[in-house]
């Protein structure tokens, strides 16, 4: 399949520099200046985690979310820190665009769920949920845990409904995470929307 061939070629390239490949309107991008992220085309590890939306706790399941459409999964170091607050505000401001593309957004940190209850209201503005990964198991499974530190790295993924990773971006600055995930979703939507003669 053409998509598989593209993904194989992209994952062979260095994960140190930005990689972009466009073919038939589909752009696959991976950028990881500090560390590797899961390879494009690989299967996203399924997980369940306690989450909070608007201060209300619930159980988030990646498998259930993928039944509804693509998922933007982003890891961030810690609630209420400067960069994580900026990123949460930016995701909240862009939620109408994510919803228009049929995407679910979920943020994950190693914070306690009680901290995320507050963060989901004040910084996420009750627009999208954040999940708690206190032991770092989910972050580790996504190659998004900082070595020797009890924090997740700032890494964003777009996961297709079939569970494959379409996009990965890892950079400690919050800039680029929202625009990159939106661009990847738009490319996916264009590639999967049937054209009529």
Q: Is residue 124 annotated as a catalytic residue, yes or no?
A: no
- Name the pairing type of β-strands 48-53 and 130-132: antiparallel
CA angle 65, 71, 184 (to 5 degrees): 160
- The first and second tokens of residue 179, run together, are 């625009």
Among residues 84, 103, 139, 187, which one is catalytic?
A: 84
Query: Looking at the annotation, which residues are catalytic?
Result: 84
């Amino acid at each position: 399949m053409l998509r598989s061939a593209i993904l194989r070629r992209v994952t062979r390239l260095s994960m140190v520099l930005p990689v972009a490949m466009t073919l038939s309107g589909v752009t696959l991008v991976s950028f990881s200046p500090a560390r590797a992220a899961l390879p494009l085309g690989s299967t996203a590890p399924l997980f369940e985690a306690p989450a909070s939306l608007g201060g209300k706790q619930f159980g988030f399941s990646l498998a259930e979310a993928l039944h509804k459409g693509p998922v933007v999964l982003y890891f961030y170091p810690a609630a209420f820190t400067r960069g994580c607050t900026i990123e949460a505000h930016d995701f909240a401001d862009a939620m109408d665009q994510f919803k228009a593309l049929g995407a679910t957004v979920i943020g994950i940190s190693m914070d306690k769920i009680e901290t995320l209850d507050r963060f989901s209201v004040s910084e996420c503005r009750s627009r999208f949920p954040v999940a708690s990964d206190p032991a770092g198991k989910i972050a580790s499974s996504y190659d998004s845990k900082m070595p020797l530190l009890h924090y997740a790295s700032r890494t964003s993924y777009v996961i297709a409904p079939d569970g494959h990773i379409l996009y990965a971006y890892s950079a400690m600055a919050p800039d680029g995470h929202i625009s990159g995930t939106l661009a990847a979703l738009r490319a996916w939507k264009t590639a999967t929307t049937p054209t009529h003669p």
